[in-house]
């Protein structure tokens, strides 16, 4: 069976980073005996599920908005006050849900 890490395609990336952030990452990389590339790859892989979860939550929110039958803003005959009222109701529902999902502070 071929080594799966060698069979995966890799892409080179380049980006700018604030100097103080770079210095902090470089310090952490050096303290662990790895180069900056290895550290950044590890950070990106660790954050990957969080990123995908955020995208899923975004798409779920959009689907829920469609499920409550919000009229499109550009629909013929749909007045802006009606749209605003429906959006405010939806925002209220989302805020209620957010309050229910907030972690309980440890005391």
The pTM of the full predicted model, rounded to 2 decimals, is 0.49
Residue 70 and residue 83 in contact, taking contact as beta carbons nearer than 8 Å: yes
Q: How many domains does the chain have?
A: 1
Determine the pLDDT at residue 38: 94
Residue 25 and residue 36 in contact, taking contact as beta carbons nearer than 8 Å: yes
For residue 97, is it within any domain? yes
For residue 21, is it within any domain? no
For residue 107, is it within any domain? yes
For residue range 13-62, what is the model confidence (pLDDT) as tens digits? 899 999 999 999 999 999 999 999 999 999 999 999 999 998 888 888 88
CA distance 78 to 74: 8
For residue range 1-16, what is the model confidence (pLDDT) as tens digits? 445 555 688 888 899 9
Q: Which residues contact 29 (CB under 8 A, 6 or more apart)?
A: 35, 36, 38, 39
**Mean pLDDT across 89-93:** 83
Q: Which two tokens stand for residue 34?
A: 């790895």
Q: Which domain holds residue 77?
A: 68-107
Determine the pLDDT at residue 74: 46
CA distance 18 to 43: 16
């Amino acid at each position: 069976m071929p080594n799966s890490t060698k069979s995966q395609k890799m892409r080179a990336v380049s980006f700018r980073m604030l100097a103080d952030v770079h210095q902090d990452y470089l310090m952490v990389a050096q303290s662990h005996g790895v180069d900056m590339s290895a550290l950044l790859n590890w950070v990106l892989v660790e954050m990957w599920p969080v990123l995908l979860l955020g995208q899923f939550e975004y798409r779920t929110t959009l689907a829920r908005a469609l499920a409550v039958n919000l009229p499109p803003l550009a629909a013929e005959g749909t007045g802006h006050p009606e749209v605003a009222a429906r959006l405010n109701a939806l925002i209220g529902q989302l805020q209620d849900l957010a309050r229910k999902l907030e972690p309980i502070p440890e005391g």
